[in-house]
Amino acid sequence: MARAENFFSWQDLRRQHGLWPYARSTSSAPRPRSDIRTDAGEASSGVNFASQDYLSLSSHPRIKAAARDAIDAYGVHSAGSAALLGNTAYSLQLSQALSEFVGGREVVLYPTGWAAGYGAIQGFVRADDHVVMDLLAHSCLQAGASAATGNVHYFRHLDQNALVRKLANIRATDTQNGILVATESLFSMHSETPDLRALRNICDAYGASLLVDCAHDFGCMSEDGLGHIGAQEMLGDIDIVIGSFSKTFASNGGFVAVKTRAAAEYLRYYSAPHTFSNALSPVQAATIMEALAIIRSDEGKELRRKLRDNVIHLRQAMARSGREVLGEPSPIVPVRVGGEGLGRLASKYLSLYGGIANLVEFPAVPLGQSRFRFQVMAAHSADDIETMVAVFNRAMDSAATELEQIQRETDTC
C-alpha cells in the first residue's frame, strides 16, 4: 500500500501540470476526429491517431447490425466459460470461419488477446521446458512464460545469431525437454518484423517449436489480410499462431491457432484463461465474424489499400518535416522523441493544439527513447494526416522551447 501512495504522488504531480496523458476516454466513437476527456475530466477534441481501429470497422453499418441481431437472439452475455456452457452458435461459427481463414488450423477462442498470448504459453509449456523469446515480446507472452517455467531466456531483438547461441547453450545441457521460441509478426513499439523463415529454420535445427503473435497485422496487412505471416508465406510453418481481435476486428477477444485437434483440445483444458474466464459474449463473436467477412471480401482489400496509402503518406510527411520515423510501414507509425521530459511536454501541447496520439515512454521503451505511436486508420483522410503532422511539429517546437526555459532556470538555481 505504501508503494501505491508513492506512485500516486508522482502520477498526480504530473496530472496537476497537464503531463499525464494516460487513461483518457472518448466521448464519441473512435473516428478520425474524436472528442476525448482526460482522467481529470477535462474535455478536448482533435484529429485522432490514438485508436486501434485499423480498418475503421468499429462503426461499420454491417458490424452494428450484426451486434444488434446478436443481442436480439442471445442477449449480451455468454454466462459461462467455453468449457462450461459459455459457447454460443456465434462462437462456434466464428471458430469455423476463422479456421478457414488460417488454412484449416484448429482455433481456440479467448476473451482477450492478452489472455490468448498468456494462455498459449502457460497451457503448453511445462516446468522443465524452456521458453526463448525476443527481448521485446509482448507482456502477455512474458507473463505466460514466467507462469509456466523458470527457464525463460531472452535474445536480443531480431538478432538471429543471438537466438542460435541461446538455443545451442540450452541443448548443450538439455536434449530432452521442450523449447518454445516466441516472437511477434509486428512489434508494436518499433513497427518491425522478423524473418519468420529464418526463425523456422533455426527452430528446426535445435528441435524447438515456434510461436508467433500477430496481434497488430492480422486482418489489416498484406493482400490476403494474413499480415506478415501471409506475406512471408509462413502460415503452414508456424506451430502456434496467436491473434487479437481488438486492432482490426472491432471487438475485444483473441485466438490461438494450432495444427491439430489434439493440440486444440489440450489447450482448451490446460490453458487457464480459456477454462477459467467467461467466453466471448455473443455480441463479440457476432461482431468479429462479420468483421472477418468484410476483411475477406473485396471491400476488405480496398480498406487495406486505403490503410497502406495512409500509412505511407503519414511516414513520408513526418520524414519531410524532419522527424525520425521508426520501423517499416504498418498501421503503427512510431516517431522518435528522445528524452522523457521532451515527450511529456510535447504530449501536453499536442492535446492543446488539437492532436490525439499516444506517448510511449519508459518502461514500455528503453529509457531516453520515448516516442509517439501514431495509429493509422483506413478512414483517415489526407487532410487528417497533414493536420496531425502540422500539429505535432508545433507541439514539438513548443515543448523544446519550454524545456530549454526549464533547463536555464534550473542551471541558474
Question: What is the tens place of the pLDDT at every residue in 87-137?
Answer: 999 999 999 999 999 999 999 999 999 999 999 999 999 999 999 999 999
What one-character DSSP code corresponds to residue 75?
A: -
Q: Which amino acid is at 322?
A: G
- Computed over every residue of the chain, the mean pLDDT equals 95
Polymer length of the chain = 413
Q: Are 19-48+298-412 and 61-295 the same fold in CATH? A: no
Enumerate residues 6+ apart whose C-beta is below 8 A from 308: 221, 329
Cβ distance 366 to 190 under 8 Å? no
How far is Cα 120 from Cα 115, in angstroms, rounded to an integer? 8
The verdict on domain 61-295 having CATH code 3.40.640.10 is yes
Which region, left, alpha or beta, applies to residue 250 given φ > 0 means left and ψ of -120 to 50 means alpha? left
Half-sphere exposure of 284 (CA within 13 A, CB side): 23
Over residues 160-198, the pLDDT tens digits come to 999 999 999 999 999 999 999 999 999 999 999 999 999
State how far the Cα of 413 lies from the Cα of 407, in Å rounded to an integer: 10
Residues 6+ apart with CB under 8 A from 201: none
User: Which cell goes with 272?
Assistant: 487457464
pLDDT tens, position by position, 27-57: 888 899 999 998 888 888 999 999 999 999 9
Q: Please report, for the chain, the start and end positions of each structural domain, with discontinuous segments joined by +.
A: 19-48+298-412, 61-295
In the block, which residue shows the cell 502460415?
235
Supply 318's cell numbers.
Answer: 513526418
CA distance 356 to 374: 9
Taking CB atoms within 8 Å and a gap of at least 24, the contacts of 49-52 are 49/314, 49/333, 49/355, 49/356, 49/357, 49/374, 49/375, 49/376, 49/380, 49/388, 50/24, 50/356, 50/357, 50/358, 50/375, 51/26, 51/375, 51/377, 52/246, 52/247, 52/375
The one-character DSSP state at 131 is: E
CATH topology of domain 19-48+298-412: Aspartate Aminotransferase, domain 1 (3.90.1150)
pLDDT band (50, 70, 90) for residue 335: very high
Grid cell 495512409 in the structure block, residue? 310
Average pLDDT over residues 375-403: 97
pTM: 0.94
Q: Which of 182, 180, 193, 205 is nearest to 232 (CA)?
A: 193
